[in-house]
Structure 1
Amino acid sequence: MSISILFSLSVLLGIWGIYEYLGYRAKKTEWKKRAEEWYDVKAQRRSFLSDWGDRFDRTPHAQEIHGKLIKANISLAPSEYYGIMLIGSFGLAFFLNNVVGLKFPYNLLIGAASMYMIQNLLFIIRRNKYQERMNDQLSDVCRLLANSLRAGLTLTQGIELVAREIPQPAGMEFKRMARELQLGVGFDKALMDMEKRIPTRDFRIFAATLYIQRRAGGNLSEVLQEMAETLEDRRIVNQEIKTMTAEQRYVSILVPIMPIALVLMMNTINKGFIDPLFSGFGLVLLGVFIVGTILSYVLVKKVTNIKV
């Protein structure tokens, strides 16, 4: 019993450690890039793993995965992402071998298949994170554009200022728009293309405001300032809703995990404990449990998904 508890704690601490390490790596990479830009650091000698990772990141498949990572708001290179997936597959294989008792090569195959399913599920769950971050940054964009117009800059110059000052992902999108304007693309066309890349309600309102003000005239800086305040108030309300529904959302995740962890722990103590689940009436109970777990998760997500 104590061995099972210690193993479960070690797995949880390992997951927490990986999460903290990834956050540290992302911050370190960002600061390193800024330091290299400030001090003009020359390229240093790199390891063969880094060179191999850079070659892989330039492949078409890696570029496709990189686009998915950006939309999921995961600040990792494709090579780093696949490295984590590989380590996770071996970790699951080790867990299945030592806890569930599944031997090679079935543990490795199931571990790889599980990580592939987790990858697809991760992209599905976080498919709107990129747009959510854009919406969160839109108030800062409106405020910066309003201040630039008050300072006497044109709207095109204000967009270039936003591209320099606002971090990703908004900075990247406005940088692309600024390049298109520099290459001679019309403002309405560049804004329309950007609206297609960011199909959110808030950005459609922002784009419509720029369309109307450019054609009908008016004090665009005041309109953008009022929009920034409105978007900021909406973001505060959304954050309060997320805080109030946080308990229900985490319960929907923990409820299916707890019985699975208990069954695996009992199987570790008593070998063959889960064998009845894979024969006869046990398969029916297992199917009912899986369907009920999925339905409970979906219903809780629907209830807690309050739009403002």
Structure 2
Amino acid sequence: MKQTILYAMIFMAIVLPTLFFTVLSGDKEKKKVKEEKTLPPLLRLSRPPAVFFELLGFGTLFRKLFPEHTRFVQQKLDFAGLRISPGTFYCMQMFLFFLSALLATGITTLLVDEENRISIPIAGLIAAFMGGSLPGILVGNLAQERQMQILRAIPYSIDLIASAMRGGLDFSAAIRFYVNLGIRSPLVDEYSRMLREMELGVIRTTALQNMAERIKIKEFTSFASAVALGTELGAPLTETMEIQGDEMRKARFALAETKAQRAPSLMLLPMALFILPAVFITILTPVFLKMKEAGVPLF
């Protein structure tokens, strides 16, 4: 059994790098350098075997078996700003599922004795579940981080767009002016996507609503609704944008205050686990040593 597991681990160690440098590398990978940099290291490493599994048809199979979940995964990937398909995401989960199970099974087999063989499949199942869940956790963290970056940048972007409109530009030209400033951020990417939709014939209010659905920030959703209502009523967009910018700034400050108020409660667990035991050890160790030297029975 040990020899079989070792042979399988050696096979994986030889075959996967070979696939990466021969089958999956080349000109197509050079075009994806910018896209790869947005991926976390674990997803970046698991992507070559995932693409290989997708070429074998596993990605298409998972998409057909779980159509509803595939749409949910696509929305989650768009929300995180990742340009990978749901099929590739499923194959990443499958690769990490089997790799984690294989590694945990091999290590547990080498460490436990004959009497505790029942722990081998248990360790494999736990590791497989954790490995298969890692891509979803990483994508969720990326989506949350991207949402916070967009939320921080929205008020100032609206102020800049409103200033450009006061200078004589229309709404589309003002957004293009903000995009061309060269500020690299997720919000700029979303504005660029909205501009491309408008260039393809999508009306302004619909493009704004599509952007609001992608980023899923309620303050921007209210901004898109206000712009749409102002467009229908013929109200000046500059005043509407100034009011919405102030509201978003207040919402951002309120969020910062809420996080600051949560800080003391979040510090309780690290203090109870790490700081208080160290304090007790520092205080009680001299007392313990003196009692031991005096011959006082401790227990």
**TM-score (normalised: structure 1):** 0.49
Q: Which residue of 2 aligns with 1:242?
A: 259
1:73/1:155 Cα in 2 relative to 1: closer, same or farther (>3 Å)? Answer: closer
CA deviation after TM superposition for structure 1 residue 200, in Å: 3.6
Q: 1:1-308, aligned counterparts within 5 Å?
A: 33=34, 67-71=75-79, 103-117=119-133, 131-164=147-180, 165=182, 167-249=184-266
Q: Return 5+ residue gaps in structure 1 as ranges.
A: 1-31, 35-47, 259-308
Pair 1:50–1:249, CA change in 2 (3 A) = closer
Residues 70 and 198 from structure 1, CA distance in 2 versus in 1: closer, same or farther, beyond 3 angstroms? closer
Q: Tell me: CA distance 1:246–1:161, structure 2 relative to 1, closer, same or farther (3 Å).
A: same
Q: 1:55 to 1:180 in 2, by over 3 A?
A: farther
Judged with a 3 Å threshold, the aligned counterparts in structure 2 of structure 1 residues 153 and 66 are, in CA distance, closer, same or farther, namely same
| Change in CA separation of 1:70 and 1:133 when aligned onto 2, cut-off 3 Å | farther
Deviation per residue, 1:99-141 (Å, 9 max, x gap): 9x66434322221023335655666788766545443332133
Q: CA deviation at 1:142?
A: 0.9
Question: Cα–Cα, structure 1 residues 95 and 209, in superposed 2: closer, same or farther, change >3 Å?
Answer: farther
Q: CA RMSD in A?
A: 4.7
- Retained in 2: the 8 A contact 1:70–1:130? no
The question of whether the paired residues in 2 share the 8 Å contact of 1:163 and 1:178 is answered with no
Determine if contact 2:165/2:174 at 8 Å carries over to the other structure: yes
CA distance in 2, matches of 1:127, 1:155: 28
Q: Equivalent pairs: percent with the same residue?
A: 20
Q: Relative to structure 2, which stretch is displaced further, 158-167 or 142-151?
A: 158-167
Distance apart, 1:207 and its partner CA: 0.9
CA contact under 8 A between 1:73 and 1:129: conserved in structure 2?
no
Structure 1 SS opposite 2:168: coil
User: How many Å separate the matches in 2 of 1:233 and 1:95?
Assistant: 53
Residues 196-216 of structure 1, C-alpha deviations (whole Å, 9 max, x = no match):
434442122211221233233
Distance 1:147 1:86 in 2: 54
- C-alpha spacing 1:134/1:49, structure 2 compared with 1 (3 Å): closer
Inter-CA distance 126–51: structure 2 relative to 1 (3 Å threshold): closer
CA distance in 1, matches of 2:52, 2:124: 27
Distance across 1 between alignment mates of 2:191 and 2:153:
12
Q: 1:179 is matched by which residue type in structure 2?
A: R
| Displacement of 1:242 | 0.9
Q: What letter matches 2:255 in structure 1?
A: N
Please give the alpha-carbon distance, in whole angstroms, between the structure 1 residues aligned to 2:211 and 2:79: 15
Give per-residue Cα distances to partners, 1:45-80, cap 9 Å, x unaligned. Answer: xxx998656666895569975753453578999679
Give the letter for the 1:71 counterpart.
Answer: F
TM-score by length of 2: 0.51
- Report the CA distance shift for 1:96/1:191 in structure 2 as closer, same or farther (over 3 A): same
1:245: Cα distance to partner?
0.6
Question: Which residue identity does 2:205 align to in structure 1?
Answer: D
Q: Which residue of 1 aligns with 2:15?
A: none
- Report if the CA contact (8 A) 1:141-1:166 is conserved: no
Flag the 1:113–1:148 CA change in 2: closer, same or farther, 3 A.
Answer: same
Give yes or no for contact 1:181–1:187 (8 Å, CA) kept in 2: yes
